[in-house]
Amino acid sequence: MLKHFNEEIDVLKNSLLKMASLVDEQVERAIKALETGDVELCKGMKAKDLEIDQYDNLIQSQGENILALFQPVAVDLRFLISALMINNQLERCGDIAVNIAQRVKKLGDQHPLVLESQIIEMGKRAKEMLKNAIDSFIHNNTILANEVRKNDEDVDALNKQIFKFLLAKMKADPALIEPCAHLIVLTRHIERLADHSTNIAENLGFFVDAKIVTHQWKLSKERKDE
């Protein structure tokens, strides 16, 4: 029975790692397209996202089967809960990568504005957060997971800074309203990418330390600011 359970857990882990690799590749392509303005990089991303969705369904099914067959407890149950929650976060990151690619295509010849806005820096930081969040899960590295949570503040600060910059651009030149609007939507997608990466890191903390740390970082900061 124990051998069968461990085998099923290994299958689930393998599925989750394959999904994480696909999502990481999608985000890498989307941010690279934003950085270079090369819309060719955006081709095929929707098709790849369907593969991610298939993994999402597979992992949910595998998790449900493990719950039904083995009724795990303690650390095994925490792993299963964490894996299913991380699966959900990864699926959303895959969607966001497609959304970023679609906005890049709409920006056309506005690459100088993209460069000036610092949104590329924001995208790179969010991409690195996702990579580190995935690595923290693979290696059960809570130190790396905590770094991901801390870096979310940097992305939030950039988001506010870029919004102010784009708002000033729109006020100064009405011709820039449309491209700036696309960039504002882009910052929203990137900010959400960072949030999902933070959630993955928090789920790892729940698995390893048996502590619910979701929102803890932001809540503690708000208490200090009161």
pLDDT along the chain (226 residues), means of 10: 90 97 98 96 95 98 96 93 96 98 93 96 98 94 94 96 98 96 98 97 85 61 54
Question: What pLDDT is stored for residue 2 in this prediction?
Answer: 81
CA distance 96 to 188: 10
For residue 141, the enclosing domain spans 2-225
Q: What is the largest distance, in Å, between two alpha-carbon atoms of the chain?
A: 69
Domain count within the chain: 1
In tens, the pLDDT along 177-200 reads 999 999 999 999 999 999 999 999
| Separation of CA 111 from chain center | 24
Q: What is the CATH number of the domain that holds 95?
A: 1.20.58.220
**Element (H or E) spanning 109, and its range?**
none
Q: How far is CA 180 from CA 66, 99, 177, in A?
A: 48, 16, 5
- Return the number of other C-beta atoms located less than 10 Å from residue 14's C-beta: 11
212 secondary structure, DSSP code: -
What type of residue is 38? Answer: D
pTM of the model: 0.91
